[in-house]
Structure 1
Amino acid sequence: MVAPAVFPSFQHAYAAVLRHVTEDYEFANSARDNDSHEVIGASFRLTDPRQRALYLMSRPVNPVYHHAEALWYLGGLRNLDLIGHYASRRRADSRDGVTIDGSSYGARIFAPRPDGAPSAFDQALELLKAEKDSKRAYLPVFEARDLDEIGHPDLPCLVGLQLLARDGRLHMVAYMRANDANRGLVCDVYSFTLIQEFAAALLGLRLGSYTHHVGSMHVGLRDLDRAGKVLDETAAGPDTTLRFAAPAMPAGTSWKHIRTVLEHEELLRTNRVQYTPGDVAALDLPLYWQRVLLLFEAHRQLVNRPADQVDQRLLEALEPGARWQFERRWPTRVAPREVA
């Protein structure tokens, strides 16, 4: 038996997965006209799931969307209002122009069931509180009904998440039917490990490892050039590229904090409020979640003040790694830093 490859951070895993799929692919796949290189049965493990972010010049990421998607999941939401605001491409996933069904993983994990029963997440946590070594804390996402409609693009790529409490740590295993190694993998690992860290906080456990299993790991031919640039940048090893200390979610994080962030995110998204760092500091939130709200305020300024640069004081108050990502994602909207 071969164990999953183990990495200290997602940045290490990302470079290794891209290299494996682009250079050692097994199949040329054309599912739904998406020509790609494919490897079947790919797995890796992160020893520190907090190291979930990428800091690569060749692969700018959107830290606002990362947090928006994770919160969309945690909120158990299906509607397009939140997720479609931060990524208009997600509107193509909707059948009715109002909601998303297949890829709204959070609605299947966190929302109460139609019969009034607790959510799968709540049930899994209660199980782990009652049976600390349980193997049954599984959060199913993909369902038999998802096979009914052939051809629609909005089907869950996530099969399910498993929570395992061992020796005072909470480990997570994700099972994916398919993953785009260059695109979806980046967002999925970010959201799933954040959910893992939140579950650990609720259970009073330390954060354990994160394992990612994929049935079909693939890279689209349209993305080979971009993947190649990542491989060039990381050729000497991901340790030679820029990294930031990973912020730790406060151990006391609760559903109250998640609801508060979601409430203020909606106010910012709809431009009903505007916040300074001082305004956010006055909220009943830990610094970790204050900085998430500051990202949403920065995005509000991007959308509603398109000719202006984002407030420099706001950027200085962001978590340093998120600030670096923001500045690389929207360089023309950021004032140059002064050289001391």
Structure 2
Amino acid sequence: MSIRIEAATIDDLLHEALSYLLAKGQRVTASRGSLLEIVGPTFVLTNPLARLSRSESRSKIFSALGELLWYLSGANQLEYIDWFIPNKYQDESTDHKTVRSGYGNRLFNWRGIDQVSNVIDLLRRKPTSRQAVIQIIAAEDIDSGETSIPCTCTLQFLQRDGKLHLFVAMRSNDAYLGFPHDVFAFTMLQEIIARTLNTEIGTYIHTVGSFHLYDKNEEGAKDYLNEGFQNIIPMMAMPTGDPWMAIKNVLDFEVQVRSDPFSAPPSMPGFWADICRLLSIYSLSKLIPQNAQVTCEKLAENMNDRAYHMFIDARISRMKKQNA
């Protein structure tokens, strides 16, 4: 029986998905441990701007943003993502320098092809094309001998009625850890391409072969469900116009703020300025000194988008405890 869950926010999708898994998931023993699994579900996010979980226990803006920028950098360097999510990808790197299954080079330089540019160029020439597909997993991944291969199969962008819809097909998806991050990154890419094409963002559809919850995360999933439903606070929309220069500036600032956390964010439109302030706050929060906390508080006061406040407040609270 096919499973289709449709909702306006990521929290509503996640709430229903985890409830279904815990109630009706089948026990499977996989290579990474025992898990509960449902096969072939489809998740429909009708408002992709509501891509941030508002959960107290699942609020992961900084790691989600880190993965997005890792992809947009076009690289697959382990050091880049380890800054945002320490140790998560260590076991997926055989040379301890790169992550073969990372999406950045597959999106922007796969066998010398920039697949994102290809999709944009195609939809400019043929707005109703059904060929705007980005391939992530490749035939050679299956027999590569690598312990980790991409979980995402394809991304298809479909432009209809003045909106850009995105269909993502995944072979495997961790419901508790991976799903919220994937929805964040892919809907951001959807909005970036929509802005590039001067169209609106449409619906996000996410289909999975194996959608699962590992035993080790069951208690965390139950705790999340016990929080109840969350407030709906979508992110503000990206400004109109081509976003790629702003993205370049954000990526450049991300490199700068690692080595100098007190660097002033560049002057940019509100949406992108907020992203830079988040990067500043994350880098500063790695420091204990009181002046880092004070700088974070000043940055928080200048945020344009109230959707970020709960994440920033949690970070500053952690700093206050360290400074106490």
TM-score over 0.5 (shorter chain): yes
1:77 and 1:304 mapped to 2: Cα distance?
A: 27
Picking from 292, 314, 317, the partner of 1:331 is 317
What is the aligned partner in structure 1 of residue 282 from structure 2? 299
Q: CA deviation at 1:77?
A: 1.1
| Mapping for residues 81-230 of structure 1, pairs under 5 Å | 81-89=79-87, 90-102=89-101, 104-111=102-109, 113-114=111-112, 118-150=113-145, 152-230=146-224
2:184 and 2:159 mapped to 1: Cα distance?
A: 20
**Contact (CA 8 Å) 1:61, 1:329: kept in 2 or not?**
no
| Structure 1 residue matching 2:255: 3-state secondary structure | helix
What is the aligned partner in structure 2 of residue 250 from structure 1? 239
Which residue identity does 1:120 align to in structure 2? Q
1:253 and 1:132 mapped to 2: Cα distance?
A: 17
What is the aligned partner in structure 2 of residue 18 from structure 1? 18
TM-score (norm 2): 0.92
What is the aligned partner in structure 2 of residue 8 from structure 1? 8
Q: CA deviation at 1:329?
A: 5.2
Percent identical among aligned pairs is: 27
What is the aligned partner in structure 1 of residue 262 from structure 2? 274
Q: CA deviation at 1:253?
A: 4.1
| Structure 2 residue matching 1:185: 3-state secondary structure | helix
2:289 and 2:308 mapped to 1: Cα distance?
A: 21
Q: CA deviation at 1:243?
A: 3.1
**Contact (CA 8 Å) 1:127, 1:134: kept in 2 or not?**
yes
Q: What is the CA RMSD across the aligned residues, in angstroms?
A: 2.0
| Structure 2 residue matching 1:78: 3-state secondary structure | coil
Q: CA deviation at 1:81?
A: 2.6
For 1:275-334, what per-residue CA distance to the aligned partner results, in whole angstroms no more than 9, with x for missing partners? 3xxx43xx3421111111111111121223367635311122233222202333563215
Confirm or deny that 1:320 pairs with 2:318: no
| Structure 1 residue matching 2:169: 3-state secondary structure | strand
What is the aligned partner in structure 1 of residue 227 from structure 2? 233
Which residue identity does 1:159 align to in structure 2? C
1:111 and 1:95 mapped to 2: Cα distance?
A: 21
| Mapping for residues 7-86 of structure 1, pairs under 5 Å | 7-25=7-25, 27-57=26-56, 59-86=57-84
| Structure 1 residue matching 2:36: 3-state secondary structure | strand
| Structure 1 residue matching 2:40: 3-state secondary structure | strand
For 1:129-178, what per-residue CA distance to the aligned partner results, in whole angstroms no more than 9, with x for missing partners? 1111111100000011111134x442100111000000110000000100
Which residue identity does 2:195 align to in structure 1? A
| Structure 1 residue matching 2:286: 3-state secondary structure | helix
**Unpaired runs of 5+ in structure 1?**
336-340
**Contact (CA 8 Å) 1:45, 1:209: kept in 2 or not?**
yes
**C-alpha distance 330-41 of structure 1, shift in aligned 2 (>3 A):** farther
For 1:77-117, what per-residue CA distance to the aligned partner results, in whole angstroms no more than 9, with x for missing partners? 11123211111122332111111111x11211122643xxx
**C-alpha distance 145-306 of structure 1, shift in aligned 2 (>3 A):** farther
Aligned residues: 317
**C-alpha distance 322-218 of structure 1, shift in aligned 2 (>3 A):** same
**Contact (CA 8 Å) 1:316, 1:323: kept in 2 or not?**
no
1:166 and 1:148 mapped to 2: Cα distance?
A: 38
TM-score (norm 1): 0.88
Picking from 293, 298, 312, the partner of 1:309 is 293
